[in-house]
Structure 1
Amino acid sequence: MDLAGRPLDDWQSDSIDLILATRGDGHWACFEYCEWVPRQNGKGTVLEARALAGFFLLGEALIMWSAHEYKTAMVAFRRVRGLMRALGRQVGDNENLLEFDKLDENGEPTTFLVKINNTNGEEGFERLDTEAQIKFLARSKGSGRGFTGNCNIIDEAFALTVDQHQALLYTVSAIPNAQIIYTSSPPLTGDTGAVMYSLRHRGDPTAPRVDDDGPWEQDPSLGYRDFGIAGNLDFLDGVDLEDLANWAAANPSLGILRSNGTGLTHEAVGRELRAAKADLPGWARERLGIWPRQADDRSPRWEVIGESTWLTRLDRQAVMGDPLTLAVDVTPDRTWAAISAAGPRTGGGRVVDVIDHRPGTGWIIDRLVELAVKHKPLVIVISDKAIADAAGGTELPDGTKLRVIRAGAADMAASAAAFFDAVAGTAPDLWQLGQPSLTTAVSGATKRTIGDGWAWNRRSITTDICPLVASSLALWALGTVRLHVAASTPFAMT
């Protein structure tokens, strides 16, 4: 950035240090990193530095930079293009082909070329030696699908919807050292910005919480910095809007005059405040980084099975004996799937175990074959017709075929009831291992009516309940004798 004529402010350098920090194994300390900063402080410069580092220094094959609008993405593209041209040399008369210096594997000076793509909708950069790319796109429900990104840069996250987040999140699932970076000022209203509120809930120990949330715990893979000050946009009498200390706390670039003559000054902030007298909450949000109160802060969780009830069924040391059953469930959009097992618990009762929980569905049948050969389950129950049909015809090494049952609507209702009774009924006998994926699913599950009964449903589209559905199906199959084949030799799952 120095060489490109855009040196970083101290706080921006701190951001890059945090973003590029690594664990002992060399992987990023922050799989996700959030930087919430009021407007015009230069958070875009942090993203530019991260993108250039990945492109020139880190060997990242694909960097995806998205914004909520096409025009915003293009502003970022043009800024990065300016940095590229400052760092490289134009090749002949071709302004879209740049030459850069590097050292080869022997330490000898050589060059490489970068192509600038200005085609509408395809804007980006490509190294012609490594084929590494930076792509710029406007977010949509489908944008980003089909790409496998090493780094996802999500600018203006206040407008990031759950559907858009899902479209981008899973592009990095198969990358062993991927990273997602979010930058924004606070959400515009309390009923928008669901992804930002979720990140805040995970990253900020001072974020509003309800009793059912339990104590805050550090997410070991989330980096989180929010420069905004505490306050309530609905009651600003408790905040001194003219306090220069508040201005400085929320705006890390305040008072820094850059070499190109730009910079956020106290005079400019004062002008903003006077001009915003008719919308002080808007000014407090945009300049002081105060969050609006989330419209569903009090939304109930643990609606079906209470948190305290769930925790009474915890046994992290539980050992599963023979016989066992396996079950598979897939999310409606087929982006995630889970395999769970149920069996008797050594010491009494029954236990469920989420054996696998991964993106996509292509891995399921191979994993089922592996588990079937090793554990010889009584039966395998699958909620998805396509996977059940394919798995049912799969031959095992001994010449037999996978024993598969397709779960219908009635079975889904029966399995939900069986799980509920085993956890929260009058004589609970089911134990769980404290697996986060299953606990998250139970906390976010609701009911949907099926005939005279009910099956599991999601409280919101951000909740993945397939570990719960798979565990329920496995437990139901364990107690449904008509589904069983001969039991196998006893064993303990590890």
Structure 2
Amino acid sequence: MTLLPWQQWFLIHALELNEDGTFRFKRVMLLVSRQNGKTTLIKALILWRLFVDGARTVIGAAQSLGDAEDVWEDVVTQAENVPALRKRMHKPKRVNGAKAMRLRSGGRYIVETLERDAGRGKTADLLFLDELREHKSWDAWNALSSTTLVPPRAQTVCASNAGDVHSVVLRDLRGRAKTAIDTRMTDEVTLGLFEWSAPDGCDIDDWSARAQANPSLGYTLTPAALQADRETKTENGFRTENLCQEVEQIQTGIIDAADWSALRDGRSRRAPGARIGVAVDVSWDRSRAHIGIAVEREDGIEHVEVIASRAGTAWVIPWLVERFDAEGGWFDGRVAIQERGAPVSSLADGMTESGLTVVPCGGAELSKSAGLFYDRIRQQTVRHLGQPVLDEAARAARARSAGDAWFFDRKGSPSDVAPLIAVSEASWLLRQAIEVPRVSAYETTDFIML
């Protein structure tokens, strides 16, 4: 196989080694425009891991079993056409739904679907996920990524072009990698981002921008072919497919992307001793719960952050109680949640029974919390760290009207907006007066003067 310069460069750097011989990157993201040779590159990687590097198990998965099997068939055919490789193979199993390529040395290459139970009970030295942009939820990623936990030289490699607002896994992982790069905190990061894309906001007819997203241009991809795609696609379609740029869907969110981006401050911190507002919200399908905080900084500007985000809801109350009861606990035990009609409302009784103080946010206060937080975003009087889970919620947030007011729409937004709701309600709680119980003089003095 003759690889193009960009493909060689990718493999050299994606397979960088630590001093102990393990791979520098445990997870690798390859983002490049369509028709630039991703499949050829992945075929070379899989064959090298199996026949040269001695991988025991390679698992391939894609948005459909058929797509995963297409890549598998290409790899098997390539190996069968090389006598030196063919003699080291058993006869491939080509049964639909159970295809397997096995080596006489014990190595194997199998395929999986993007299901909740994908990869259960399996261990992989290489997990290849094709078209990561098609992962609309975390179910398949959560199940499959665990297959590479144990083998010391295991890697998860994802290949895709850019996604849209529905590509929740791709956007989150890419956001984490970019944050590490932007803050120059990459030493301990095991996620590698390898991206060929045009600059954000570029003119789609700028050939220098097109070249940045198409490293095979002039080798296997001709300018005429790329121009033909330009003439037959929508602008958003050309940007995501041929310029490898993230695009939003046609309907825009209520929060302006430029406004939100301007609020990012990776060094934002709570002022010493400042009171903290805590709120919890749960995604509309109850798949994840998020704990948000709001607190003033030393300069008086408000800082918001998602401090915990996990699957399910069972962990929420123990997590809060542990930090409330701990010596020098960092919050006063008050937690804001939506009063009724929301998934998080079911946690109210358990919070109260555990000693937490539930501060209900409902009715007019619910729309007030969303509206005031929206105002702070527009007025640039709030800051955030640039967390992918919160950034995605801000990008996706839609408004749901309630009379003349509105609030953030959990179900109607294309991604989980519960993280945004959590920080907006934490911001609301921060500004609620704390009731100081009145104490009778009869209870605090030994005598009464008349």
Q: Give runs of aligned pairs for residues 252-401 of structure 1, distance below 5 A.
A: 254=219, 281=231, 290-291=242-243, 303=255, 307=259, 311=263, 316-319=268-271, 321=273, 323-343=275-295, 351-374=303-326, 375=329, 377-383=332-338, 389=346, 392-393=349-350, 401=355
- Is the aligned partner of 1:416 residue 2:411? no
The AA in structure 2 aligned to 1:432 is R
The AA in structure 2 aligned to 1:36 is V
Q: Give runs of aligned pairs for residues 80-119 of structure 1, distance below 5 A.
A: 80-82=75-77, 86=85, 89=88, 95=91, 116=93, 118-119=94-95
- Is the aligned partner of 1:153 residue 2:128? yes
Q: State TM-score, norm by structure 1.
A: 0.57
How far apart, CA to CA, are the structure 1 residues paired with 2:247 and 2:437? Answer: 51
Shift of 1:373: 1.8
Structure 1 unaligned regions, length at least 5: 1-5, 97-115, 206-215, 241-245, 255-263, 487-494
Residues 9, 343 of structure 1: alpha-carbon distance in 2 compared, 3 angstrom cutoff: closer
Aligned counterpart, 2:69: 74
- Is the aligned partner of 1:123 residue 2:94? no
Residues 382, 24 of structure 1: alpha-carbon distance in 2 compared, 3 angstrom cutoff: farther
RMSD: 5.8
Aligned counterpart, 1:445: 397
SS at match of 1:393: helix
Pick from 423, 427, 431: which aligns with 1:479? 431
Residues 391, 278 of structure 1: alpha-carbon distance in 2 compared, 3 angstrom cutoff: closer
Aligned residues: 398
Residues 133, 319 of structure 1: alpha-carbon distance in 2 compared, 3 angstrom cutoff: farther
Aligned counterpart, 1:251: 216
How far apart, CA to CA, are the structure 1 residues paired with 2:393 and 2:249? Answer: 19
How far apart, CA to CA, are the structure 2 residues paired with 1:59 and 1:484? Answer: 65
Shift of 1:470: 0.9
The AA in structure 2 aligned to 1:155 is D
Identity of matched residues, %: 19
Structure 2 unaligned regions, length at least 5: 439-450
Aligned counterpart, 1:467: 419
Pick from 37, 61, 64: which aligns with 1:65? 61
Residues 253, 346 of structure 1: alpha-carbon distance in 2 compared, 3 angstrom cutoff: closer
Residues 169, 406 of structure 1: alpha-carbon distance in 2 compared, 3 angstrom cutoff: farther
Q: State TM-score, norm by structure 2.
A: 0.62
How far apart, CA to CA, are the structure 2 residues paired with 1:313 and 1:218? Answer: 14
How far apart, CA to CA, are the structure 2 residues paired with 1:313 and 1:239? Answer: 34
Contact 1:152–1:168 under 8 Å retained in 2: no
Contact 1:37–1:251 under 8 Å retained in 2: no
Q: Deviations over 1:247-277 (max 9, x none)?
A: xx853794xxxxxxxxx6x9xx79x97xx99
Q: Deviations over 1:157-202 (max 9, x none)?
A: 7xx5462x65544446667686342146x99xxx999789979x97
How far apart, CA to CA, are the structure 2 residues paired with 1:280 and 1:169? Answer: 33
The AA in structure 1 aligned to 2:400 is R
How far apart, CA to CA, are the structure 1 residues paired with 2:427 and 2:56? Answer: 44
Shift of 1:416: 1.4
How far apart, CA to CA, are the structure 2 residues paired with 1:11 and 1:350? Answer: 44
Contact 1:327–1:474 under 8 Å retained in 2: yes
Pick from 18, 32, 36: which aligns with 1:36? 32
How far apart, CA to CA, are the structure 2 residues paired with 1:11 and 1:354? Answer: 38
Contact 1:419–1:472 under 8 Å retained in 2: yes
Residues 51, 144 of structure 1: alpha-carbon distance in 2 compared, 3 angstrom cutoff: farther
Contact 1:325–1:380 under 8 Å retained in 2: yes
The AA in structure 1 aligned to 2:158 is I
Contact 2:129–2:156 under 8 Å retained in 1: no
How far apart, CA to CA, are the structure 1 residues paired with 2:360 and 2:98? Answer: 44
How far apart, CA to CA, are the structure 2 residues paired with 1:65 and 1:364? Answer: 33
How far apart, CA to CA, are the structure 1 residues paired with 2:166 and 2:372? Answer: 37
Contact 1:334–1:361 under 8 Å retained in 2: yes
